[in-house]
Amino acid sequence: MELKRVVITGLGALTPIGNNASEYWNSLKKGVSGAAPITNFDASLFKTQFACEVKGFDPLNHFDRKEARKLDRFAQFALVTADEAILDSKLDLEKINLKRAGVVWGAGIGGIKTFEDEVTGFSQGNGTPRFNPFFIPKMILDIAPGHISIKYGFRGPNYAAVSACASSTNAIIDAYNLIQLGKADVMVTGGSEAAVTVAGVGGFNALHAMSTDNENPETASRPFDKNRTGFVLGEGGACLILEEYEHAVARGAKIYAEVAGSGLSADAHHMTAPHPNGEGAIDAMTYALKDANLKPEDIDYINVHGTSTPLGDIAEVNAIETLFGDHAYKLNISSTKSMTGHLLGGAGAVEAFASVMAVYDDVIPPTINHFEDDPAFDKRLNFTFNKAEEKTVNVALSNTFGFGGHNATLIVKKFK
């Protein structure tokens, strides 16, 4: 069968460096850091006392009090970003076939704050098992796409994708595949996470995965820097409206970019550590290039997973150098996690957004907080350190990798 073309017609974002799509993209271009001392709870006794939190977000600006109480923070982020993306897409819900409009959402953990609160409340009680009737519906990851479909009446494919930090890239890829195969005309997709909680910070501290540079939170996320010490936890989300090309053109939709291809693989190596040679990453990028019918030299920009961990950054660069050869030194690389922190299951969505806008706007967002070169990396590599670069970007590739060895790669290209 002939596969359908898939384009991106709407964007929404709620991030540590911007509470809507425009603010987020402008902050990326300016190189703004979203890291600051934690305000969600008292982190004074934790090894890490800072994170990239969403700032100035009041759910009562988006939901009535009763509705807000039924939603975990990650689901609130999902609904807010979906609202913005749908509005941006100018979809007329009275004219489209709602049975062919669906939602696939990504989250790695979901309602961790809800779970934390309910279990803490039970343990501090008198032994009587009393739980909020919304405990389970607030906690489960698939409630986010469920709420979006209920609000808008979308009756097409509806579920959540879960693959740790690769979750929302997996969600976008699934949405892309559903439209390609003719099973949907419109898909609302992306991801969100809200894990800046006692359990979230405590758990990652126990893994020794996060930076503990409490004196300098704004510069703690420093991918590819010699003195990087771990990732900075972030929260938020982003939403993309994917649409079948002819469906979008028929209604005169604005098109940001075209989804060109995708690739999925597993490291089959270790529970939390990447394969040192980046073998799974090589496979995912190779499959994506093949799916897009592109060659390595066609890629202008790679939005890397780039978490600012000592081993992860090296493994990904090893993969890029192996696959791209000499072209690795001609393309731009950057890690927007240097600004947003690591949104876990929401990372792929906010980074897909950055990749789409790099293609649409011809701007490479930077890798900020670079102070000292790491001799582990070839100096010929262009990490777009500290300052955005204006450059024609015809094709961008975005990588996300997750605990368990999950690898997901998405390629977007200029719409022509």
Smallest CA-to-CA distance from 237 within 284, 187, 195, 175 is with 195
Smallest CA-to-CA distance from 319 within 355, 285, 269 is with 285
Instruction: State the alpha helices, DSSP H only, in 55-134.
Output: 65-69, 73-89, 112-123
Instruction: With beta carbons less than 8 A apart as the criterion, state whether 412 and 242 touch.
Output: no
Cβ-count burial of 210 within 10 angstroms (0-12 exposed, 13-18 middle, 19+ buried)?
buried
Asked if 247 is an active-site residue, the reply is: no
Strands 406-413 vs 257-266: parallel, antiparallel or unpaired: antiparallel
Cβ-count burial of 203 within 10 angstroms (0-12 exposed, 13-18 middle, 19+ buried)?
middle
How many whole angstroms separate alpha carbon 42 and alpha carbon 275?
A: 36
| Residue 42: CB atoms within 10 Å | 10
Asked if 327 is an active-site residue, the reply is: no
Smallest CA-to-CA distance from 172 within 414, 415, 336, 356 is with 356
User: Which of these is catalytic: 52, 165, 247, 406?
Assistant: 165
Structure tokens that stand for 50 in this block: 């800072």
How many whole angstroms separate alpha carbon 313 and alpha carbon 307?
A: 7
Structure tokens that stand for 182 in this block: 């003719």
CA-CA distances (angstroms) from residue 75 to 40, 50, 120, 213, 381?
17, 23, 21, 30, 38
How many whole angstroms separate alpha carbon 411 and alpha carbon 296?
A: 12
CA-CA distances (angstroms) from residue 68 to 187, 228, 248?
25, 38, 33
User: Which of these is catalytic: 147, 247, 275, 342?
Assistant: 342
Which residue carries 């777009």 as its tokens? 384
User: Which of these is catalytic: 275, 305, 370, 406?
Assistant: 305
Asked if 342 is an active-site residue, the reply is: yes
CA-CA distances (angstroms) from residue 14 to 149, 154, 257?
19, 22, 20
22 phi and psi angles, rounded to 5 deg: -65, -45
Under DSSP, is residue 98 helix (H, G, I), strand (E, B) or coil?
A: helix
Instruction: Strands of 249-404 (E only): list them.
Output: 257-266, 301-303, 332-334, 363-364, 389-390, 395-402
Q: Would you please indicate which residues are annotated as catalytic (active-site) residues?
A: 165, 305, 342
